Every structure is written in C-alpha cells, then in structure tokens.
Amino acid sequence: MKKLGLLVIFVAVGTMLSGCVSTAPTQSAVSAGEAEKITEEITQLTKQWSKVHITKDFDHLRRIWADDFSYTDNDGKVDKREDGFAFFEDNTDTFTSSGVVAFDLRVYGKNFAIGNGDHHEAGTDKDGKPFSRKVRFTNVWVRENGKWQVVRGHSSPLE
C-alpha cells in the first residue's frame, strides 16, 4: 500500500510539472469567458450524445469519438470506438427517455477538459420488459484541430 501511495504522488507531481494539468484549484489555464464557452460547447455535445438512443444520430458519435476512443462500461468491459457504434446501432431496446440529468465540466486548458454526470434512460427491452437505467459517467475531452472529441470514458451504475 505504501508503494501505491508513493506511485500516486510521483505521477501527480510529474503531471503537474509537465504542464499537462493546471495546478490551480479551478479553471485558471484559460480565461473565465473561454472556460464558459468551452463548458457550453461540451455540455451541448454531451446532451446530444445522451439522446442518441432516441434521435438515432449515430453520425454525432462519429464526430465526437476520437479515432482512439475507448469506453469502460459499467460491467468493466473496455470497448473501442467500433464496439461503441455497434452497441448503439444494433440496440434492440425501445427508449422512451434518455438524457443527462446532471453534468459538470472541468476545463484544464484550451484543449483539455473532463466531464462527469448522471445519465438516465427508460423504455422496454426486445421482449417488451420495462427498464430504467441510471449511470454516472466520466469523459475525457481533447480538442484537436478546433474540434472537441472524447478519447476515454467510463460509466458506473447508480442502482
């Protein structure tokens, strides 16, 4: 356990020294106005993502998921970008609601942000059985060539 603690400290200090993360407690790597604009943009992108089950706008996912995107689902499975497309496009559930009910974003620079929130969805499965799912998620956003994309994500069940 002592070695793990030292490793965590080493990584944290190394990351701060490399300039990858702002050492200030909040969004000081960009102006307040710029952080607000970034927050609005990523919040909208996240809300659109959360409704893809209903809107069937799979192209939205292609735009916001980076080529090296991976997602650790609530069962511990790590999916790559193509696995995620298949999950959404081949899903046989009927959704009556799907969306973000809480969202928070931390902007750590002009090109890096981390968002987390709660996603709730409801409907019926392929056998007509009703479902209600609630998860908490974290997504890592990177801006390349002026475009925000998710490179990594994770979700955990709330129920």
Is residue 75 in some structural domain? yes
Is residue 3 in some structural domain? no
Is residue 128 in some structural domain? yes
The helix or strand, by DSSP H or E, that contains position 135, with its residue range, turns out to be strand 130-144
Is residue 95 in some structural domain? yes
Is residue 14 in some structural domain? no
Q: Tens digit of pLDDT for each residue in 67-116?
A: 999 999 988 999 999 999 999 999 999 999 999 999 999 999 999 999 99
Spatial separation of the C-alpha atoms in residues 89 and 97, rounded to whole Å: 17
User: How many domains does the chain divide into?
Assistant: 1
Is residue 112 in some structural domain? yes
- The pLDDT, as a whole number, for residue 28 is 53
The alpha carbon of residue 43 and the mean position of all alpha carbons in its chain are separated, in whole angstroms, by 10
Q: ∠ at Cα 103 (58, 69), nearest 5°? A: 40
Q: Tens digit of pLDDT for each residue in 122-158?
A: 999 999 999 999 999 999 999 999 999 999 999 999 9
Give the confidence band of 14 by pLDDT, cuts at 50, 70, 90.
Answer: very low
If you average pLDDT over every residue of the chain, what do you get? 87
To 10 degrees, the CA torsion angle through 86, 144, 9, 106? -80
Indicate whether 5 pLDDT > 60.
no
Q: Tens digit of pLDDT for each residue in 44-57?
A: 999 999 999 999 99
Domain that holds residue 149: 27-157
The CATH number covering residue 76 comes to 3.10.450.50
